[in-house]
Structure 1
Amino acid sequence: YYLKFLTIVVGIFGSYLGYLVSNLSISYSLLSLNLLSFISFIGSMWFMPFLSTNFISYFPLKLGYISSKSFDYGWGELLGGQGLYGFFIYLIKYMQDWYDSNFSIYLLTFIFWMFI
């Protein structure tokens, strides 16, 4: 009971505290907002994260996209998973029709021999 009530109290208290802080005019006089592009440049280690993540992660992501397109929508979907199941169902239905026709041929020949 106490932990459930504590989460509600913390949520309400945090909302009220956020409302009080947003009413203060501190955020309008910050120096970092005037120099936002310079602070962003210095804080990002001279564009090092942008260069390293763009060149390092582009090729593996592209390779994953290509393999996903070829395996997920290609032969892997046809032969694996539900594709193989559907193929077996089709094959069983075809063989069942073939066996039924063989059985009817057997009965027809049996009736034919009965008349002779």
Structure 2
Amino acid sequence: MIGDESVVMATTREGIVVIRLRGAVDADSAPGLVRVLAEAAVSGSSRTVVDLSDTSFADSHTLHALLDAQKLHRAAGRSLVLAGPLQVAVRRLFEVTGTGAAFRMTDSLESAMTC
């Protein structure tokens, strides 16, 4: 397991890197998130799943980390998938910024593992 266990946790499940975000993900946790996402992009796994189902709040730092990770994953020939269900504040971040279409999103971790 890598990452800040209070907010960002990463594990490997069925050969896929799964990054779980819990609680409020903001400027304080962004550096750890950026590091974990960058490590996942070069891990050798074909896919990284970011589980946002337990994320109660995400700010622009989180969004930038995810957008940068999307670029890193594409450059490495890997998939980045965001898993929900998204809580209202997180869903609103993607809606207000118009960035939802930049990501492959699923309604559950299980569907993200197989899409």
TM-score range, shorter chain: under 0.3
Normalising by the residue count of structure 1, what TM-score does the alignment of the two structures yield? 0.17
Q: Determine which structure has the larger strand proportion and give its number.
A: 2
Larger radius of gyration: 1
Normalising by the residue count of structure 2, what TM-score does the alignment of the two structures yield? 0.17
Higher relative contact order (CA 8 A, sep 6+): 2
